[in-house]
Chain A
Amino acid sequence: MSEEQGTPQQNEPIDLSKKDDLAKEPTYNSPGTPPPFQPAPPFQQFGGYGQPNLPNATIALILGILSIPACCCYGLGLIFGIIAWVLAGSDIKKYNLNPNGYSISSYKNTKAGKVCGIIGTILSLLYIICLIAMIVIFGWAALKDPETMKELLREKGLQ
């Protein structure tokens, strides 16, 4: 393969033909009526399902789903959820600017990722609010000693 392409004598005519094509394009476009404005189509737009996916669709979906199982691990779910939310939000903006440029399935995945991220964020927020409320109500002294904490809880009637 590399030997066939590497010979300089074969490359020169190909380059010349490309230059000819480039030279023809302005003469084809410039005279006469100006063409209506069309945004440049993305590379793989034509060909049905060949449209490119949104760049962060998969990551947003995965992080959104992982945000619930990670909810209990030191608030990691909050980070996952917010990242999924932000990534999906920026991708949805990108899709709305150029709806023909990206595939619909990736757009749906992105929306699902956003919903999952929002839910994961809310659950993790509830958890963190619960944690802060415990600290506020019972104080740092109980934090260091689980047994006094249990006594406090019995007094309050939770257990």
Chain B
Amino acid sequence: MDHQHNGFLDWVGHHLLSCPLKLYFGIDCPGCGLQRSVLALLRGNFLDSFKLYPATVPLILIVLFSILHLKIDFKFGASLIKIAFIGIASIILINYIYKIYNHQLI
């Protein structure tokens, strides 16, 4: 069972969508690493997932929360989604600038 699970994840890992920037220029775009990070999370490696793309866990949380919010309608749901979204956007930008400065783009 476990072996099959890993095999499926490996198969997905070989069939990820690659972004045009990465494909043609070999440079990461601000969204690169998200799919690898989700795969690492599915394997249970939180640390690898965070290293590949720090915004993955907050993104998954905000998607789950917004589904819950649309069903249950929390009182401060909308404003919380807004604040969290701004936070995620800044995490992505900071991560990209960090990558540029540390020459991890290729």
Contacts and interface: CB of A to CB of B under 8 A. Distances in A.
Nearest to B55: A68
Given A65-B85, A74-B20, A105 B25 contact: no
Nearest to A72: B31
A134 B62 contact: no
Interface string B52-77: 00000001001100100110010001
Given A61-B70, A130-B29, A112 B79 contact: yes
Contacts, number: 100
B81 interface: yes
B97 to A, nearest CB: 11
B20 A65 contact: no
Interface stretch (B2-10, B42-50, B86-94): B86-94
B12 interface: no
Contact of A61 (B59, B66, B92, B103): B66
Contact of B20 (A68, A115, A131): A131
Contacts of B73: 105
B59 A119 contact: no
A77 B79 CA distance: 22
Contacts of B20: 74, 131
18 contacts: A58-B70, A68-B88, A71-B29, A71-B30, A72-B29, A72-B34, A73-B31, A111-B82, A115-B82, A115-B85, A116-B85, A122-B89, A131-B29, A134-B27, A138-B25, A146-B24, A149-B25, A159-B103
Interface of A: 58, 61-62, 64-65, 68-69, 71-74, 77, 105, 108-109, 111-112, 115-116, 119, 122-123, 126-127, 130-131, 134, 138, 142-144, 146, 149-150, 153, 158-159
Sorted from nearest, which 4 A-B pairs have the closest CB atoms? A72-B31, A108-B78, A112-B78, A71-B31
